[in-house]
Amino acid sequence: MDAATVESDGLRGDHVWAVVDPETGDVASAKRFRRWGSLLSCRARLLDEVDPRDPAALEITLPDGTVVHGNDPAVEDLLSDTTGRPVRLETRPRTYDEAPLHLVSTSAVDALGTGDASEIALRRFRPQIVVAADEDAGFLEDGWVGKQVGIGSATVEPNKLTSRCVMVTLAHQEVPARRDMLRTVMARPVAPGLTDDKPGAYVGVYATVTRCGLIAVGDTLEIR
């Protein structure tokens, strides 16, 4: 995306749509990889953010390249065929595991030395906002926790380092599986402010929104 609207509970349109298990009513999370891992090979985007809950604005690309929209009568059957289980597609109130925003710097990913191409390495960590930084800046976002970060006309407050789990090892779309990735992240220098002064699987920061606004590619960050 070249630009996005930052709302009080996250980026406009993000975390609005969900694939749901009709048997339980739970979101089909790829964290249950054996059951829902095939969803990691799908891609979704909004063609228009005027009304993110408009099914016609939702475009889904399936693993075989088939493109379907949220208002297509066949969309749930196609998603069910992809997962091998019945599913339904619906809008839901927005919820997050930790926080509505997730920032990762290019320098943090460079510092890991994963051997992956930069774009692949960044996508593995699934940030909503990528911060371009000098290659030798390292894990600079570690120092943003508790500060205010201005981006465009919005302000966000990083409040927690992003702890990584098995998801970074899994294949999704163009990102290949890397069973060694958690070990690679664990080998990073100790992040500041950790009470036990031990290494951890941290890359990036979670953040909340303190001022809504617009952000765009090319915006300069103001740390205060």
pLDDT tens readout for residues 42-92: 999 999 888 999 999 999 999 999 999 999 999 999 999 999 999 999 999
pLDDT score of 169: 92
7 within domain boundaries: no
Residue where one domain finishes, among candidates 39, 61, 91: 91
Same domain for 110 and 211, yes or no, is: yes
Task: Evaluate whether residue 96 is within a structural domain.
Answer: no
Q: Which of 170, 176, 147 is nearest to 160 (CA)?
A: 147
**3 lies in a domain?**
no
Average pLDDT over all residues of the chain: 93
Same domain, yes or no: 64 and 114:
no
Residue 63's pLDDT is 95
Nearest to 102 by CA among 129, 122, 125: 129
> Per-residue pLDDT averaged across 104-120, rounded?
93
Residue range of the domain that includes 126: 101-223
Can you give the pLDDT at residue 14? 96
How do residues 141-162 score in pLDDT, each as one tens digit?
999 999 999 999 999 999 999 9
Domain boundary among 36, 65, 91: 91
Q: Which amino acid is at 7?
A: E
- Residues 112, 200 within the same domain: yes
What is the structure's pLDDT at 209? 98
Whether 138 and 58 share a structural domain: no
Give the angle subtended at the CA of 160 by the CAs of 19 and 163, to the nearest 5°: 60
Does residue 143 sit in the same domain as residue 202?
yes
Q: Strand, helix or coil at 193?
A: coil
Residue with tokens 């909340």: 208
Q: Please report, rounded to a whole number, the percentage of residues in the chain having pLDDT higher than 70.
A: 96
| Contact of 103 with 158, CB cutoff 8 Å | yes
Assess if residue 208 is contained within a domain: yes
User: For the chain, what is the domain count?
Assistant: 2
| Same domain membership, residue 130 and residue 28 | no
Percent of residues, the chain, with pLDDT higher than 90: 83
53: in domain: yes
Contacts of residue 130, defined as CB under 8 A and 6 or more positions apart, other chains included, come to 103, 104, 105, 106, 122
2 lies in some domain:
no
